[in-house]
Amino acid sequence: MRRILIVLVVGALVLAAAWGLASLPGRLTLELGRTTVETSTPIAALALLIVIVLVTLVIRLLGALLRTPRAIGRMRGARRLRLGEIAVNRTLVALAAGERGGARREAARARRLLGDTPQTLLLAAEAGRAGGREDEAETAYRRLAERQDAAFLGYRGLLRQAIAREDWAEAATLARQAEAAHPGAAWLREERSRLAIRAGNWAEALDLVDAPAPKAALGIGAALAETDPTRALRLARDAWRRDKALAPAALTYAARLRLAGKDKRAQAVLREAWQLRPHPDIAAAFLAPVTDKLARAKAVQDLTRDNPNHPESRLLAARTALDAGLTGEARHQAEEARTAGMNGRRLWLLLAEIEEEERGDTEEGRRAQRDALRQAASADPDEGWRCTACHSPHAAWHPACPTCGTPGSLVWTATAPVTGTALPAVA
Ligand SMILES: [Zn+2]
């Protein structure tokens, strides 16, 4: 209704204007050079109107022609963006599906369409790695590392590559750069502690790990590597306090105490460790300052005073008694150890020695020795250091497993025989 009204009003106005124009009086003369044009006023007004309409149309057409390239550019940009996003999505899908070639192709396409953005560079790098093209990945990671807004992503990728090819020096440098680019990342902290453990940098690893269990082991490593005596003593003490039953902790602390002139305290630490969990190296360290054989047999009583009936205490007493020529006592202690359930190779070898010492080169002595040696051959395996993570045996204790790198994973347990049991602290 309203529209009809508007059309009627406009129509009336146009009619009125046309009637007014047609009823204009007089004539119009235009002289241009020698040409003279003469017409009535209504025709002249109509001609003027037509000219105005034509000029307006021409101006509009020119404007549209000038704007066309920009519009085409905008259209093309939108199309590239859309296709680029599709390529990004396809790369992600190909990566998730393990389609290595497809991922690389789509990542390259995304990069061509969208340019070098953190997103496309990271995708290109990840697709390169997945496709086994470490060189491609490295180039993309380096481009990322050069950008302020994505440097961490670049260093992270380069760090993972350095770890994969076991270039620990480069990895340590990259970890420091990544830390500077994005301080306090939890992932990086974990990687740095792993790197420190790999490199045997126990003090740094000690600062980086959180769990209480490996801290004692790492503390021992740090104390062994520390050159400053005061700091080394403090590190050894802290490690020992964290795990007093861990023989290497007591041995390291005792060794540092001795270096500091605190021999009595060192012996007390070793005695406490023996009470918690006897270990042959603790006995060796405890008896080291005593050279006289009879005095050593007596010192064993001091070391084992809190757990004299422990099989290890019995075995130790038997060993030192035999060395001191007290064969009767040696036999008594060895038999007691056997009664207490010990059936280790060490015990049977010692019994063979006792037989040899006591009965000498007689028929009876030789038979008893043979029996003991036969028993030794089928006895329980001796105890040794074994990793609780990868189960590999080790001749000596280490702060981290040399095979799998797990810190604090080595425990003293019955194991397949390995040569030597010396700890770094004693060696
Ligand atoms: Zn291991």
Token couple for 86: 């599709």
CA 78 – ligand 1 centroid, Å? 55
The residue-averaged pLDDT of 84-108 equals 92
The residue-averaged pLDDT of 343-365 equals 88
CA 161 – ligand 1 centroid, Å? 23
pLDDT 10s digits, 155-167 = 999 999 998 898 8
Q: Which residue has the higher pLDDT, 267 or 208?
A: 267
**Angstrom distance (rounded) from CA 204 to CA 196:** 6
Among residues 128, 133, 110, 131, the alpha carbon closest in space to that of 120 is found at 110
| CATH number for the domain harbouring residue 136 | 1.25.40
* pLDDT score at 421: 43
The answer, yes or no, to whether residue 425 has pLDDT greater than 50, is no
Q: Residues of the chain with pLDDT > 90: what percent?
A: 58
CA 256 – ligand 1 centroid, Å? 28
- Residue 108 belongs to what domain range? 81-180
CA 386 – ligand 1 centroid, Å? 8
Residues 384, 274, 223, CA angle at the centre, nearest 5°? Answer: 75
* pLDDT score at 415: 64
* pLDDT score at 422: 43
**6 SS3 class:** helix
On whether the pTM is more than 0.75, the answer is: no
* pLDDT score at 104: 93
Question: Letter for the amino acid at 348?
Answer: W
**393 SS3 class:** strand
pLDDT 10s digits, 101-118 = 889 999 999 999 999 999
The residue-averaged pLDDT of 313-336 equals 95
Tell me the pLDDT band of 359, cut-offs 50, 70 and 90: confident
The residue-averaged pLDDT of 2-22 equals 80
The residue-averaged pLDDT of 197-218 equals 84
pLDDT 10s digits, 245-266 = 999 999 999 999 999 999 999 9
Q: Is residue 319 part of a domain?
A: no
Token couple for 133: 């093209």
Nearest 5°: phi and psi at 288? Answer: -55, -40
Q: Residues of the chain with pLDDT > 70: what percent?
A: 96
* pLDDT score at 416: 53
CA 397 – ligand 1 centroid, Å? 12
Q: Is residue 75 part of a domain?
A: no
**C-beta of residue 306 within 8 angstroms of C-beta of residue 273:** no
CA 407 – ligand 1 centroid, Å? 9
Q: Is residue 390 part of a domain?
A: no
CA 179 – ligand 1 centroid, Å? 28
Q: How many domains does the structure of the chain reveal?
A: 1
**C-beta of residue 276 within 8 angstroms of C-beta of residue 245:** yes
**C-beta of residue 352 within 8 angstroms of C-beta of residue 369:** yes
**Angstrom distance (rounded) from CA 51 to CA 297:** 130
**Angstrom distance (rounded) from CA 387 to CA 244:** 19
Token couple for 159: 């760090």
Please report, for residues 116, 318, 403, 404, 407, the alpha-carbon distance to residue 389 in angstroms, rounded to integers and kept in the order given.
43, 35, 10, 8, 10
Tell me the pLDDT band of 119, cut-offs 50, 70 and 90: very high
Cα of 173 vs its chain's centroid, Å? 14
**Angstrom distance (rounded) from CA 386 to CA 415:** 7
Handedness of CA 147, 152, 155, 161 (dihedral sign): negative
The residue-averaged pLDDT of 223-235 equals 95
pLDDT 10s digits, 276-303 = 999 999 999 999 999 999 999 999 999 9
CA 95 – ligand 1 centroid, Å? 32
Tell me the pLDDT band of 212, cut-offs 50, 70 and 90: low
CA 385 – ligand 1 centroid, Å? 11
Token couple for 358: 């006591």
CA 409 – ligand 1 centroid, Å? 7
Mean pLDDT of the chain: 89
CA 400 – ligand 1 centroid, Å? 8
Q: Is residue 98 part of a domain?
A: yes
Residues 342, 345, 348, CA angle at the centre, nearest 5°? Answer: 75
Point out the least confidently predicted range of 186-195, 201-210, 337-346, 412-421.
412-421
CA 350 – ligand 1 centroid, Å? 32
CA 394 – ligand 1 centroid, Å? 9
CA 238 – ligand 1 centroid, Å? 24
Q: For strand 410-414 and strand 383-387, is the pairing parallel, antiparallel, or unpaired?
A: antiparallel
Query: CA 232, 233, 236, 242: dihedral to nearest 10 degrees?
Result: -130
CB atoms within 10 A of CB 397: 26
Q: Is residue 234 part of a domain?
A: no
The residue-averaged pLDDT of 75-99 equals 92
CA 372 – ligand 1 centroid, Å? 35
* pLDDT score at 7: 78
CA 276 – ligand 1 centroid, Å? 25
**32 SS3 class:** strand
* pLDDT score at 159: 93
The answer, yes or no, to whether residue 411 has pLDDT greater than 50, is yes
Q: Is residue 154 part of a domain?
A: yes
Q: Which residue has the tokens 């010396």?
A: 422
CB atoms within 10 A of CB 376: 18
* pLDDT score at 420: 43
CA 152 – ligand 1 centroid, Å? 31
Q: Is residue 114 part of a domain?
A: yes
pLDDT 10s digits, 57-83 = 999 999 888 888 888 889 999 999 999
Tell me the pLDDT band of 419, cut-offs 50, 70 and 90: very low
The answer, yes or no, to whether residue 413 has pLDDT greater than 70, is yes
* pLDDT score at 191: 86
**Angstrom distance (rounded) from CA 256 to CA 173:** 33
Q: Is residue 287 part of a domain?
A: no
pLDDT 10s digits, 167-176 = 888 898 899 8
Token couple for 224: 């062994």
* pLDDT score at 197: 87
CA 393 – ligand 1 centroid, Å? 8
CA 402 – ligand 1 centroid, Å? 7
Please report, for residues 7, 246, 426, the alpha-carbon distance to residue 303 in angstroms, rounded to integers and kept in the order given.
118, 17, 18
